[in-house]
Amino acid sequence: MIKFKVHSIYLLAALPLTGIVQRVSAQQPLRKPNVVFIYADDIGFGDLSCNGAKTVHTPNVEQLATLGVRFTNMHSTAATCTPSRYSLLTGEYAWRREGTGIATGDAGSIIRPERFTLADLFKNSGYRTAVVGKWHLGLGDKKGSQDWNGLITPGPSALGFDYSFLIPATGDRVPCVFVENERVVHLDPNDPIAVSYEKNFEGEPTGKLNPELLRMHPSHGHNMSIVNGISRIGYMKGGKSALWKDEEIGDVITGKALNFIEKSKNEPFFLYFATHDVHVPRVPNPRFAGKSGMGPRGDAILEFDWSVGEVLKTLKRLGIEKNTIIIVTSDNGPVVDDGYKDQAVELLGAHKPAGKYRGGKYSSFEGGTRVPGILCWPGTVKPGISDELLCQVDLLKTFARVLKVGLPSGAAPDSEDHLDAWLNNGGKGREFLVLQNVNNNLSIEDGRWKFIAPGQGEAFDTSTKTELGNLNKEQLYDLSADWSEKINLAAKNPQIVERLRSKLNQIKEAR
């Protein structure tokens, strides 16, 4: 069935595309560029060697950065995963919508089928589309209503994806099974799955009551159902033949991504490859275990880099690397202890996951949303470094220009076209960007000045040891001189505060 939003897209025949036409030989037919979007999970600005990390080496990402443009001021819209993913796919700030916070494992579909998405944009333009990896945007019609033993709908197919292979939520949340094209993989019908986020099932062990069954112990939370010797968030029983093995997740989802590329090599394709590295629980493949010297978190960074390298090798082997746009970025900033005793803190050493920036995952400070960003398009993108203020929410309108199409009325309300900046072609980035922390407190920045509005919540998260940036007073930082956000200049610059406060309120009121 064709949704109404498919009919809403229209051509912009006169739209100028100066500077983005591919350089192709007379023998090579001009084809729409393939797009591979690689979304890391909880990898911070300082976690990659191309951004200055010294204690961990990520050569494949570094190669991409050398061939393409590396962004130093790239942002996710939020300091947590679900809202960042929502904004990426819809072109809308997640704080505008109720129910877009960190999703439970049994959340219903947060992006409703009638919403126009980034995948719809490509699908309606003749692309094969796929999502592989972490989803964490809910499945099914409403919370707790999923049929984990049958067709789980609505799902990605209702949002423009031809193919899907998912970690339904996150690795630390049940159900711990893969979902392919909206059905659980390798499910035995004689051992049906049951999921609850309210109470445990009779006779099922938990991390809280049965710590002797654990191979990895929680540091905070994460003490409910036990799968593969690791206790999770939420309760689950059944589905034994379908349970994933944590140390194989990276290999499995990378293999599915490569298989999609292989099958799609003769037509334009869009792949949203959402890795799980370095989200907890961190259980890297034995090939990487112990290799970083920084424990499972550092090893998982190496595993992520391997996944990137496998994509690069596959594109080159198929001869389509020059006709493929690759974007690498992360859903939010880093966190070291996010719920398991995995020695991430003890073995961190001199490594700084957020680089020189303050805060991390969950935070209003720069470490929460300033994430790695790389775009590679050989022969088209000018290699180099860009300091332009850019955001993932803008990909929808930016790619609409690449594809020379318009958007349905009301689609992607917060997305902006910054194609020339993304291609390092002399274009300017955003004038203003609104960002969101775990408490839904908002900040706004303009490339130099950052205003954090007064907000509720603790200033410091004692569990994750993260500065959240929540204060009951206004904060203003000059990021050009004080990138660590240590000096609050609000009292000394009332005019700048008023300008940014007014702009933030204006954006909040816009629909």
pLDDT tens digits, 243-254: 999 999 999 999
Per-residue confidence (pLDDT) for residue 166, from 0 to 100? 98
How confident is residue 14, by pLDDT bands cut at 50, 70 and 90?
Answer: very low
Give the count of beta carbons closer than 10 Å to the beta carbon of residue 203.
6
Residue type, 385: I
Q: What are phi and psi of 275, to 5 degrees?
A: -70, 165
Q: In this structure, what is the dihedral angle of CA atoms 311, 317, 321, 324, given to the nearest 10 degrees?
A: -60
Q: Are 16 and 340 in contact (CB under 8 A)?
A: no
Helix (H, G, I), strand (E, B) or coil at 236: strand
Site of tokens 């061939």? 67
How confident is residue 15, by pLDDT bands cut at 50, 70 and 90?
Answer: very low
pLDDT tens digits, 188-220: 999 999 999 999 999 999 999 999 999 999 999
How confident is residue 31, by pLDDT bands cut at 50, 70 and 90?
Answer: confident
Question: How buried is 59 (Cβ within 10 angstroms: 0-12 exposed, 13-18 middle, 19+ buried)?
Answer: middle
CA distance 364 to 376: 29
HSE of 450, CA atoms in CB hemisphere, 13 A = 27
Neighbouring-strand partners of residue 449: 478
The helix (H) or strand (E) run that includes residue 167 is: strand 163-167
pLDDT tens digits, 81-138: 999 999 999 999 999 999 999 999 999 999 999 999 999 999 999 999 999 999 999 9
Per-residue confidence (pLDDT) for residue 30, from 0 to 100? 57
Helix (H, G, I), strand (E, B) or coil at 385: strand
Per-residue confidence (pLDDT) for residue 172, from 0 to 100? 98
Instruction: Select from 69, 75, 49 the least CA-distant residue to 60.
Output: 49
Give the count of beta carbons closer than 10 Å to the beta carbon of residue 109.
23
CA distance 68 to 305: 16
Helix (H, G, I), strand (E, B) or coil at 127: coil
| Cα–Cα distances in angstroms (integers) from residue 456 to residues 253, 385, 442, 459, 485, in the given order | 38, 37, 11, 9, 19
pLDDT tens digits, 431-484: 999 999 999 999 999 999 999 999 999 999 999 999 999 999 999 999 999 999
Averaged pLDDT score across all residues of the chain = 94
Per-residue confidence (pLDDT) for residue 1, from 0 to 100? 37
Res. 22: pLDDT tops 90: no
Res. 27: pLDDT tops 50: no
Site of tokens 């929410």? 393
Helix (H, G, I), strand (E, B) or coil at 189: coil
Res. 367: pLDDT tops 70: yes
CA distance 370 to 472: 23
Res. 7: pLDDT tops 70: no
**Mean pLDDT, range 314-318, rounded to an integer:** 98
**Mean pLDDT, range 46-56, rounded to an integer:** 97
| Cα–Cα distances in angstroms (integers) from residue 140 to residues 137, 148, 154, 214, 416, in the given order | 10, 10, 5, 31, 30
pLDDT tens digits, 152-189: 999 999 999 999 999 999 999 999 999 999 999 999 99
Per-residue confidence (pLDDT) for residue 37, from 0 to 100? 98
Res. 11: pLDDT tops 80: no
Per-residue confidence (pLDDT) for residue 169, from 0 to 100? 98
Helix (H, G, I), strand (E, B) or coil at 310: helix
Neighbouring-strand partners of residue 243: 177
The 3-state secondary structure of 255-305 reads HHHHHHHHHCCCCCEEEEEECCCCCCCCCCCCCCCCCCCCHHHHHHHHHHH
